[in-house]
Amino acid sequence: MRVLLIGAGGVGDAIAKIAARRSFYERIIVSDYDEARAARTVAWIRARHGEEVAERFASARVDASDAAAVAAVAREHGATHVMNAVEPRFVPTIFEGALAAGCDYLDMAMSLSERHPDQPYAQTGVKLGDAQFAQEQDWRDAGRLALVGMGVEPGLSDVFARYAADHLFSEIDELGVRDGANLVVRDDDGNEIFAPSFSIWTTIEECLNPPVVYEEGRGWFTTPPFSEPEVFDFPEGIGPVECVNVEHEEVLLMPRWVDAKRVTFKYGLGAEFINVLRMLNLLGLDRTAPVRVRSAAGPVEVAPRDVVAAALPDPATIGPRMTGKTCAGLWVTGTGKDGQPRETYLYHVSDNEWTMAEYEAQCVVWQTALNPVIALELLAAGSWSGAGVLGPEAFDAVPFLDLMARPAAEGGYGQPWGIREHAVAR
């Protein structure tokens, strides 16, 4: 396996660092529009693991907005797999470039949605991933696999959905992704500051777009942003967090492979974050279309959302200022294999102190990066295989979860996942 990793930001950097401890691949080419970022990642691996490990890595420059350029870099390095670790606006070109180069493809976020022109808060328009699933036959005809939505959310929660359907439940009422954290970022004086732990570009896209909900018999529909608030009690000391509906790929992926009466995604944003997002929307700073701005050098065209992203701290750099844990998980309700009502929360917790000590990567990007590396290893071993455009739910969950939880000394990743049962009135 020769992997072209596109993107050396927070998640791409963490993917390479996690993979450096594994041996399932022949080579990983870390690429970025700014090759210096890719080279820094390779240099870190060399300093931490030595020349023998670093020899399996290389850096390259790639323009992710140009499908032909993606294909050319993939061919130049003999890549067998393209791992997309950049913002979802680049999905179409990387997706096209990977297929043109004859590579398998993985991503952690899917092609973007477009609102319904008349009823954006009731009906779906173009859904997340629609552009990719429209090319399903092209990938099948080429005998190539596009494994989409293989991060943590989407990704691990989708693996949990497959596991719950196969091993825990005979009938599922709801698959409810519930993510929350108790992360705090502070400045040099110890004051808590506003610093999103993930790409603000992507966060704005997810949180201000109409959230999608799936219901059996009704299909997919939308609601207003931040709808249906609920307090969810997260494990391992995180505690109660208010969660709201957010647009996310799981709701578009899970119903394709797992039978459930309802599918939702809710994220613990917090009141301050919601207020910031609403203000950005009110001021038009969430827009992606360029506007004309006067500058000392003359008029320039700039997208307001890009300005917001440039003004905030890079999520890849805030790890040393961050404390706390983040939890990704799936709350499942329905009927257990014993015929009795059951409510179960399957989850994984990532501790920022540990990820910084082990990988010099903050916990949110590290947790996101862990899962595609596991998936690549399963593909390399032949434990997972397929052709076409497939989500994580299309594969057996057991090999993934076993490899994830197995201690590192025994060949695993040493990342146990949990199951918490909720009391149900019988």
- With 90 as the cut, is the pLDDT of residue 8 above it? yes
- With 80 as the cut, is the pLDDT of residue 4 above it? yes
Question: Region 320-325: what's the mean pLDDT?
Answer: 89
Half-sphere CA count of 327, side-chain side, radius 13 A = 29
**pLDDT per residue as tens digits for the range 269-312:** 777 788 888 888 888 888 888 888 887 778 888 888 888 888 87
pLDDT value, residue 313: 76
Confidence of residue 196 (pLDDT cuts 50, 70, 90): confident
- With 80 as the cut, is the pLDDT of residue 206 above it? no
Question: Region 128-146: what's the mean pLDDT?
Answer: 98
- With 90 as the cut, is the pLDDT of residue 366 above it? yes
pLDDT value, residue 207: 80
Check if the beta carbon of residue 266 is closer than 8 Å to that of residue 246. yes
Question: Region 211-216: what's the mean pLDDT?
Answer: 97
Q: Which of 87-96, 113-122, 193-202, 293-302 has the lowest mean pLDDT?
A: 193-202
Question: Region 1-20: what's the mean pLDDT?
Answer: 97
- Which domains are assigned to the chain? 2-150+368-410 (3.40.50.720), 156-365+418-422 (3.30.360.10)
**pLDDT per residue as tens digits for the range 373-424:** 999 999 999 999 999 999 999 999 999 999 999 999 999 999 999 999 988 8
Check if the beta carbon of residue 193 is closer than 8 Å to that of residue 186. yes
Amino acid at 134: A
Question: Region 324-343: what's the mean pLDDT?
Answer: 97
Cβ neighbours, 10 Å, residue 139: 23
As beta bridge partners, residue 84 has 6, 107
- Mean of the per-residue pLDDT values for the chain? 94
- With 80 as the cut, is the pLDDT of residue 316 above it? no
* Nearest C-alpha neighbor of 267 from the set 161, 177, 368: 177
> How far apart (Å, rounded) are the C-alpha atoms in residues 10 and 85?
9
Question: Region 89-113: what's the mean pLDDT?
Answer: 97
pLDDT value, residue 119: 97
Question: Region 245-265: what's the mean pLDDT?
Answer: 97
Question: Region 159-173: what's the mean pLDDT?
Answer: 98
**pLDDT per residue as tens digits for the range 69-95:** 999 999 999 999 999 999 999 999 999
Quick one: what percent of the chain has pLDDT higher than 90? Answer: 79
pLDDT value, residue 421: 95
Check if the beta carbon of residue 335 is closer than 8 Å to that of residue 297. no
Token pair in block for residue 87: 């913002």
